[in-house]
Amino acid sequence: MTTEATAQPQRARKRIAVVMGTRPEAIKMAPVVHALRARDDLFETIVVATAQHRHMLDQVLAIFRITPDVDLDLMQPNQSLSELAARVLTTMDRTLRDLQPDLLMVQGDTTTVFATSVAAFHLQIPVAHVEAGLRSHDLRNPFPEEMNRRLTSVVTGIHLAPTPLARRELLRENVPAEQIVVTGNTVVDALHQLLEQPFDRRGTALEGIPFAGHRLMVVTSHRRESWGQDLENTCHALRQLVDRFPDLLVVYPVHLNPNVRKTVMTILADAPRIHLTEPLDYAAFVNLMRDCHLILSDSGGVQEEAPTLRKPLLVLRKLTERPEAFQAGLSKVVGNSLDAIVGEASRLLEDEAAYRSMVSDANPFGDGRAAERITRALERWSQGRTPMLQPDEEFGPQTSLPTPAQTVA
């Protein structure tokens, strides 16, 4: 069948449009962009930024030395999800018609990912989805990400699953096995690259914090599901923990959303040894986590980053679509109960054996070679070869047992 995407004369190289809109997308796509551009004999790689998150996206692109070829600059103040989705859909339709890519690549579960994938589907452009197959099985947790990734999978032709468990989730949804490749998560590649670069706290929001002589706990909590009472519980738990442990120092980069800031500032602004900072750029945040003793977070990305950095993690959610770390004993889902947060954090601060049990050199999310596997898979795809990767080339044990998303007991 002749399509709008392939109606042009046959190219010597496959043109791949890599689309990103938020900081997590840029972090996880950066290694892929560099790997694809290293094979410019095979691929013409075009980076398209929707700028769903303008400032945070630009920070990461600068760190990884990537300049978008097309910058749509779609972010608007106080945009609703529907308004953003509509702008991405209509703008990406025009952009893809102009670019005529042979393949569209998206990552994760943002509004950019969902709307861009629909635009590509309308134009019959194949979609490759990086980090495919994550599932919480609850459309409202996380919101709207669970819907975005499920619907993106429906129009995806190449599912680049990060783990064997993600593959099993896709197979349950009747995705053909030959369309799935287990690559590892590209965030591990990104962390390895970033930690090779020198870092200096001077000139950052971390300058002046008295880290010496303290055990550092890093906290992030900003998700919509946590606004209100749940976030209040988390803040009160932090106050109890610094009262109980005189050597504990907390650094909490506070999200700019007013629903988050009002709660956090009201409860924690005057708390001793709790340092509330502005949002950190990615380099500062990664180095903060590298230097910490313990992490509490409701972030999806941090759930992958903490095991990579060998740091125990308490997940401030009621359930997670990333249960691999939980299954490996490297994280625990504690929800937003004050008692649960204080109890589990205290256990790790008091019990050295319990702490050591949550630290491992084995990373269930990746080995730093995900971008390499993705590039190799796309090379075979471009040549019409199957499978895209041999089983022994994929990431992780292929016998991993399928289990549902982990939830708070």
Which helix H or strand E contains 332, and what residues bound it? Answer: strand 331-333
Residues 122 and 229 both lie in one domain:
no
**Counts of helices then strands in the chain (DSSP H, E):** 15, 13
Q: What is the pLDDT of residues 54-107, one digit of tens each?
A: 888 898 999 999 999 999 999 888 889 999 999 999 999 999 999 999 999 999
Is 407 a domain residue? no
Closest CA to 102 of 220, 224, 6, 208: 6
Residues 233 and 258 both lie in one domain:
yes
- Residue 10 pLDDT > 70, yes or no? no
What are 112's two structure tokens?
Answer: 């950019």
Closest CA to 58 of 316, 279, 277: 279
Is 108 a domain residue? yes
How many domains is the chain built from?
2
Residues 335 and 376 both lie in one domain:
no
Residues 82 and 149 both lie in one domain:
yes
Q: Which residues are catalytic?
A: 109, 131, 145, 222, 224, 255
Q: What is the pLDDT of residues 318-335, one digit of tens each?
A: 888 999 998 999 999 999
315 vs 78, more confident: 315
Beta bridge partners of 176: none
Burial of 75 (0-12, 13-18, 19+ CB in 10 A): middle
Residues 339 and 370 both lie in one domain:
no
Task: Name the least confident of 97-106, 308-317, 397-406.
Answer: 397-406
Residues 120 and 246 both lie in one domain:
no
CATH number of the domain at 223, please.
3.40.50.2000
Residues 109 and 179 both lie in one domain:
yes
CB 209 within 8 A of CB 241: no
Residues 20 and 163 both lie in one domain:
yes
Is 1 a domain residue? no
Is 180 a domain residue? yes
Chosen domain end from 357, 374, 403:
357
Q: What is the pLDDT of residues 215-258, one digit of tens each?
A: 999 999 988 778 889 999 999 999 999 999 999 999 999 988 88
Is 409 a domain residue? no
Residue 401 binned pLDDT confidence (cut-offs 50, 70, 90): very low
Q: Which domain holds residue 52?
A: 14-185+366-393
Is 53 a domain residue? yes
Q: What is the pLDDT of residues 377-397, one digit of tens each?
A: 999 999 999 999 999 999 985
The one-letter code for the residue type at 128 is A
Residues 178 and 92 both lie in one domain:
yes
Say how far apart CA 83 and CA 100 lie, in whole Å.
25
Is 85 a domain residue? yes
Say how far apart CA 314 and CA 320 lie, in whole Å.
11
Query: Strand 294-297 and strand 331-333: pairing?
Result: unpaired
Residues 249 and 321 both lie in one domain:
yes
Is 264 a domain residue? yes
DSSP-derived 3-state class of residue 79: coil
